[in-house]
Structure 1
């Protein structure tokens, strides 16, 4: 969603509300929350909740207490308490939903983390705020050059100026501990402002910078994902994915967060499958699981010593053999159970493969016919050398 007046200018910046992509109506903000209680009035005698949520650069949000009882709405630019001075941000949520968000994020209403709002931002506050935003890109490039000159194994990913321009926060990523005491001295001398260094993880860096994922959509961490849960390679194993780090890793270099989205569904489906390490004992021999297909609901087994011959079974049939083995009995053979699967597939063969999509040679015959027709046309076009000599 976006405001109706949004469009792109010459430099790539969006037009419309002139907020460089952060719409004043909060309709195209990143990580915005829809206030579905905005049209409802409070019961009589109930005072409105005096804490609001304020959003800063790249989705950073904090809760602030409205001690002056200002009439605030979503999208208002306010000056908030900071250490030192004040900061400038936009109101992202008001009303009773703020109480729900604080409970979700486990922030107490009487906590010292909840600072207060000074006032609605004046034009002077907004001008100083915009000047700091314009300086960030140049300072980021210069700060990276200084870090390289000092041989520090760190990467400065982003810079955020405080609303009054009195402090600059440098966000960086590093694998090991970094001694940046000399770096802070040079930054303070070069940029003439108070410096604060804050280390973030690789996932947080990707969330701040944003980008397009391999699915073609914006990164989940920069649009709606707020909590970063750990992702392990077992999630890829349960979903039968190849353990290729280039395909499983996201732009942050870690495993993709979307590997956890469908994991619960796969685990629920695998409950009906026997474990792959369980061998099936038959009178013909011991069978070992070679492959499973969760979507088709099928397993493939092969006898020990006959690894090239696979036998397809359904989870129900495989569980029957496992139940017999637990009783100390051995099944006759896998072929008896395999015939039932083949018969059930033949009944639906006309529906699944009516157009011959499963044939590997479906493109060969048309190509042969076309090549024959072309050869005939070429023969007709070629002149006969004997006729030309006689003429």
Structure 2
């Protein structure tokens, strides 16, 4: 996500191109396709594909036909056909890979009604386009104020100007249907342009705005995710996650898209795994499943009469007991199987870096009491002096008494 314009400046500080994905080098754009056929020449007699991919603000990409046979490359600013007037965008892909992208997005490349590219954008077109983009934040703020005055239950999340400045598209989110006819009249009178309102979902709003997820990284929908798949709570159940909506919901308020990333692996592991509703019939009593670990292949069962004590069984052992139960045979108890499963796990690691053990911070260090050591040293020295002086425990005190008596005698004499 970095290019020559938005990498680093002086003293290693991030410079930032502030173009929101419209850099001329096309190196920090969202969902940019790498043209791995750019260095390969076409076979003799083959004409280059006459369609190109053009990206506009944020992630909006459309396909246009190059009827004028312009020599276009990635990063060129072009003036394209619009519903009325012209729009300005940047070329993001050319050549045969455009045909692959059109098939992937189900766009007919043989359609003669595809919009066309007029010309390469002139400096006048670029200046006008940049001036319109600078007005977007101000107009978005003013449009929100008008919507609040009209008491409309909607949120205007983004504004996109057409390249020639004659039209603006307002993207909004709303839970219910909104009557915005008066809003369009007020905005057209205030801004002097044609207005188009386009409703988007909450995920599309998060995709356009961007942000940081709970994982600490940029949102997937604003960086690399191309399509939105439906996410249900069953995906969290299969992965044994707590059904807490605050933890499972993303910034858009919907379930996180990343719940689908590992779902296929869990479903594959659960194919030959006993269900959590499994019941085991033993001579000691009926046992219920309390917990499962899919990737370790372990299940924990407890008796109906004693639900607090759990017994660990492997997946194969549970299937063996179930086969016996189908033949109306009961095993003696679960304890026969749990004894074999009890293996003490030893932590094995290699001291590669030359550090101490990995658990050196687990045990709290004993406080160093230097006063105790000093007291012990003094007591030991006192004992040694007593042993050397024999029966006289304090010879210094006696010397002091003799000196005092001599001074008193001298005063009296």
Say yes or no: TM over 0.5.
yes
Q: How does 1:148-297 map to 2 (within 5 A)?
A: 148-297=148-297
Structure 1 stretch 372-381 or stretch 168-177: which is displaced more? 372-381
Aligned to 2:101: 101
Query: Is the 1:14–1:21 Cα contact (8 Å) retained in structure 2?
Result: no
Aligned to 1:376: 372
Q: TM-score, normalised by structure 2?
A: 0.84
**Residue 324 (structure 1) shift:** 1.1
Aligned to 2:404: none
**Residue 21 (structure 1) shift:** 4.7
| Change in 2 beyond 3 A, CA 1:203/1:5 | closer
**Residue 380 (structure 1) shift:** 7.8
Query: Is the 1:13–1:21 Cα contact (8 Å) retained in structure 2?
Result: no
C-alpha distance in 1, partners of 2:113/2:323? Answer: 59
Query: Is the 1:30–1:222 Cα contact (8 Å) retained in structure 2?
Result: yes
**Residue 218 (structure 1) shift:** 1.3
Aligned to 1:384: none
Query: Is the 2:21–2:30 Cα contact (8 Å) retained in structure 1?
Result: no
C-alpha distance in 2, partners of 1:122/1:214? Answer: 44
Aligned to 2:409: none
Figure out how many residues of one structure are paired with residues of the other and give that number.
374
Aligned to 1:63: 63
**Residue 333 (structure 1) shift:** 1.0
Gaps of 5+ in 1: 382-389
CA RMSD in angstroms comes to 2.8
**Residue 234 (structure 1) shift:** 0.8
| Change in 2 beyond 3 A, CA 1:378/1:248 | farther
SS of the residue corresponding to residue 78 of structure 2 reads strand
Aligned to 2:115: 115
SS of the residue corresponding to residue 131 of structure 1 reads helix
SS of the residue corresponding to residue 197 of structure 1 reads strand
CA-to-partner distance for each residue in 1:317-343, whole Å, 9 max, x for gaps?
11111111112211221111111111x
**Residue 316 (structure 1) shift:** 0.8
Aligned to 2:16: 14
CA-to-partner distance for each residue in 1:141-180, whole Å, 9 max, x for gaps?
1100110110100000000000000000000000000000
| Change in 2 beyond 3 A, CA 1:316/1:163 | same
| Change in 2 beyond 3 A, CA 1:207/1:122 | same
Query: Is the 1:13–1:20 Cα contact (8 Å) retained in structure 2?
Result: no
C-alpha distance in 2, partners of 1:242/1:374? Answer: 50
SS of the residue corresponding to residue 59 of structure 1 reads coil
**Residue 305 (structure 1) shift:** 1.8
Query: Is the 2:5–2:16 Cα contact (8 Å) retained in structure 1?
Result: no
| Change in 2 beyond 3 A, CA 1:378/1:108 | farther
| Change in 2 beyond 3 A, CA 1:159/1:379 | farther
Gaps of 5+ in 2: 378-396, 401-413
**Residue 127 (structure 1) shift:** 0.7
SS of the residue corresponding to residue 89 of structure 1 reads strand
SS of the residue corresponding to residue 45 of structure 1 reads coil
Tell me if 1:349 matches 2:351: no
**Residue 374 (structure 1) shift:** 6.3
Aligned to 1:47: 47
Name segments (4+ residues, structure 1) moved above 4 Å.
7-13, 18-21, 354-359, 377-381
| Change in 2 beyond 3 A, CA 1:329/1:225 | same
Structure 1 stretch 371-380 or stretch 60-69: which is displaced more? 371-380
Query: Is the 1:79–1:121 Cα contact (8 Å) retained in structure 2?
Result: yes
